[in-house]
């Protein structure tokens, strides 16, 4: 059994101490404050969801935790010890794996080659590739995640988006990840494939990893998350445990909460002083007054006549 696999089994058995802790972390790019006062804990066997719209600071947060960028304020701790990774390699060596949306897989290479890319197993005095062993391990590890790939020699480009996600996750776990950061893993996937990716998130959690699930989709987050953080313009605007939050609250907060309620007032032409009941703003859906068919056609005509820049 490889060291990586042993390590994986060691982390199962959940403890309450966070693996990774951010305390009041901030990041400025010159005058731009991309993040301010962000605190979060990543615990083993838990999924921490970080939600936010474009420009909320999600990428910046990922870059700090994955060693690409240094934070400019606050403290990041790994196993209770303050750390600055300095490089992605250092973060990886500390067990922090990041699976980006584009997955960093080589599409024309086979499944097993991708699995071992950069970590190939070799044998004998000539250090030739130990293909049989790599294929066997790859098959075993994918099997643990519930993925059966009929032909490991197939290029990964031929697999579904969900299966490709799984290879990236299984690879990270096998090579000793303790924390896995998933950057919008369901963003480019349809409903069915999103389900596949979400199942793998649960598998990674159940394997004892601390999972950070970055998404803008509250429905996906709520299906798998233990803890939820919403970032807005670089600040934490919601930080709640699953027990203290309903899907509806998460969705409303994500959609803009109070701002959405105000917009709803405006669009309905209701007296802004009137209190809107929580149930009236549902799932981020704004009930704008419906346009008649004629009005709709007039809007389309206006759009067509609008001079293009
Ligand atoms: N290298 C940089 N230099 C200057 N400003 C930056 C840099 N990177 C990000 N920013 C700014 O920091 C803020 C947060 O950006 P970030 O990319 O982290 O957000 P995001 O939530 O990932 O958004 P998106 O989903 O659109 O990628 C934005 O205002 C962005 O313009």
pLDDT over 50 at 72, yes or no: yes
134 Cα to the center of ligand 1, angstroms: 39
Q: Of residues 257 and 39, which shows the higher confidence score?
A: 39
pLDDT over 50 at 51, yes or no: yes
Domains of the chain: 3-255 (3.40.50.300), 258-305 (no CATH)
pLDDT at 12: 42
Q: Assess whether the C-beta atom of 54 lies below 6 angstroms from ligand 1.
A: yes
Phi/psi of residue 230, each to 5°?
Answer: -110, 130
How much is the average pLDDT of 157-179?
85
pLDDT over 50 at 291, yes or no: no
Q: Of residues 122 and 118, which shows the higher confidence score?
A: 122
pLDDT at 148: 81
Q: Assess whether the C-beta atom of 51 lies below 6 angstroms from ligand 1.
A: no
Task: Dump pLDDT digits (tens) for 1-42.
Answer: 344 433 333 344 445 789 999 999 999 999 899 999 999 999
Ligand 1 atom closest to the CA of 231, numbered from 1: 21
ipTM: 0.93
Q: For ligand 1, atom 28, which residue shows the shortest CA distance?
A: 55
Q: Tokens for 222, please give them.
A: 């709520």
pTM over 0.80: no
How much is the average pLDDT of 234-257?
90
Which residues 6+ apart lie within 8 Å of 270 measured at CB?
A: 276
Q: Mutual orientation of helices 161-174 and 3-11 as an angle, nearest 10°?
A: 100
pLDDT at 49: 96
The percentage of the chain sitting over the pLDDT mark of 70, rounded to a whole number, equals 78
């Amino acid at each position: 059994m490889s060291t990586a696999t042993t390590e994986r089994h060691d982390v199962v058995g959940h403890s309450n101490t966070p693996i990774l802790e951010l305390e009041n972390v901030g990041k400025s790019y010159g005058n731009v404050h991309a993040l301010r006062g962000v605190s979060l804990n990543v615990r083993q066997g838990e999924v921490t969801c970080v939600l936010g719209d474009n420009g909320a600071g999600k990428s910046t947060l990922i870059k700090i935790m994955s060693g690409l960028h240094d934070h400019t304020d606050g403290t990041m701790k790994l196993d209770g010890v303050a750390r600055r990774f300095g490089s992605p390699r250092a973060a990886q060596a500390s067990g922090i794996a990041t699976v980006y949306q584009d997955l960093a897989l080589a599409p024309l290479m086979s499944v097993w080659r991708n699995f071992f890319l950069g970590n190939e197993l070799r044998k004998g005095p000539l250090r030739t590739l130990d293909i049989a062993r790599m294929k066997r391990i790859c098959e075993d590890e994918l099997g643990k995640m519930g993925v059966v790939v009929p032909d490991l020699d197939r290029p990964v480009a031929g697999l579904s988006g969900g299966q490709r996600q799984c290879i990236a996750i299984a690879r990270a776990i096998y090579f000793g990840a303790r924390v896995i950061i998933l950057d919008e893993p369901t963003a480019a996937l349809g409903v069915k494939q999103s389900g596949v990716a979400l199942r793998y998130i649960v598998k990674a959690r159940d394997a004892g990893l601390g999972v950070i699930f970055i998404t803008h989709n509250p429905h996906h987050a709520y299906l798998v998350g233990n803890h939820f953080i919403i970032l807005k313009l670089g600040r934490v605007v919601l930080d709640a445990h699953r027990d203290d939050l309903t899907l509806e609250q998460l969705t409303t907060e994500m959609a803009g909460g109070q701002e959405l309620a105000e917009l709803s007032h405006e669009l309905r032409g209701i007296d802004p002083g009137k209190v809107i009941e929580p149930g009236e703003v549902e799932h981020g859906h704004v009930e704008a007054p419906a346009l008649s068919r004629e009005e709709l056609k007039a809007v389309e005509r206006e759009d067509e006549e609008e001079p293009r820049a």
